[in-house]
A and B are shown apart, each in its own frame.
Chain A
């Protein structure tokens, strides 16, 4: 893996993809008919939202592998995905109101898409707080894995419950679902996918950096223990 796709290449590809997505967002995609320029935040908003949900499922995946194999890098992956995912989830919750205010006239509404995203943000907060508050550091990975497993099942219930509550939807229909409201211009589609791909690349690069730092930190503490025991003897 390391040799097949070195970090520097990963970084360059990510930066290039982000630049390309800027081109697609601002120059390639046509201006929206009623909302005007402000609609261009849509590409960043939707892509961050998708990345955040992907990140939460990847956190669960890492946790599951950790519970099964007790592989430390699986736990690093889960923790890294949660930290970066939290960033993207915060990004959705910030770009959403910025877009909603000029278009809907309100900052926030308890709608069937906004509400579960907010729940997801709270699940990220709980997971990350737990990781930093555990007394015995050796147990943090195990406890966090349990919490993220319970959390991922809960996400399914969140969507179910919000649908049952039948909030009046202010939010446009899912772009990916392709309902009658999602009459997106084909060029807009391209821009959405390019941005999403760029964000996934950024996500993977950041998680990879996180895992590298975590592995280095473990190596440092191992070497320190080694030198302590040799100098003490």
Chain B
């Protein structure tokens, strides 16, 4: 079977599973909203201050919502030994990784849109003027975050206490992408010239490409029995 078809098949399977029980996405969105909600009581930001705190707030919400989703994506595979089934299939293990990664990226995108919408509403902040650059920078940073998150979730699925193990493994490695995400979205939301923060988007893009390729190659070892 052609790798692209494997990727598409895994991606569609994850979407279909999610469509039937709607657990992961709901958990990610609600969790993301709770972070934004709690943040309000922790700092009560208003006016200028909310603009200064918003990029960090958004990325904290994205990071925690993401960890929740990535954990589910492999926990579900393990419950019914579905991962063993995939391992037995005569396909490229890297393609399985890319399929799972795309599904996670899709769910992250939806959860991020919900969080951004809520933040815009609750903090009276309009994303419309900066939407293009904000979306572009968030896309590349999310891609990098999901790239490392998916492979670490597959590693953490083999451990006791995987809910703890995943953030312990993932957050230190995702720090560069987290910083780039906060810096680039801060630049975009403040309305700076794109040239001022383009280097962060480039950093996120190169991080994404390098970790996608590395994870694609290493995933074989994660699946190996």
Contacts and interface: CB of A to CB of B under 8 A. Distances in A.
Contacts of A139: 158, 224-225
A123 B180 CA distance: 19
Given A142-B221, A147-B169, A161-B203, A133 B159 contact: yes
Interface stretch (B22-30, B63-71, B210-218): B210-218
B160 interface: yes
Contacts of B207: 157
Contacts of B158: 134-136, 139, 143
Given A125-B168, A150-B148, A164-B199, A130 B155 contact: yes
Interface residues of B, number: 32
Contact of B160 (A135, A143, A160, A161): A135
A134 B155 CA distance: 9
A107 to B, nearest CB: 21
A135 B210 CA distance: 29
B141 to A, nearest CB: 12
Given A142-B221, A142-B224, A157-B207, A130 B214 contact: no
A139 B199 CA distance: 39
A145 interface: yes
Contacts of A123: 172-173
Contacts of A160: 176, 203
Contacts of B203: 157, 160-161, 164
Chain A residues touching B, majority SS: helix
B9 to A, nearest CB: 24
B173 A150 contact: yes
A198 B147 CA distance: 40
A24 B155 CA distance: 46
Given A129-B165, A153-B210, A160-B203, A146 B175 contact: no
Contact of B180 (A125, A143, A153, A161): A161
B91 interface: no
A133 B165 contact: yes
Interface of A: 67, 119, 122-123, 125-126, 129-130, 133-136, 139, 142-143, 145-147, 149-151, 153-154, 157-158, 160-161, 164-165
17 contacts: A122-B171, A122-B172, A123-B172, A125-B172, A130-B169, A133-B161, A135-B158, A139-B224, A139-B225, A146-B218, A147-B152, A150-B173, A153-B211, A154-B172, A161-B175, A164-B203, A165-B183
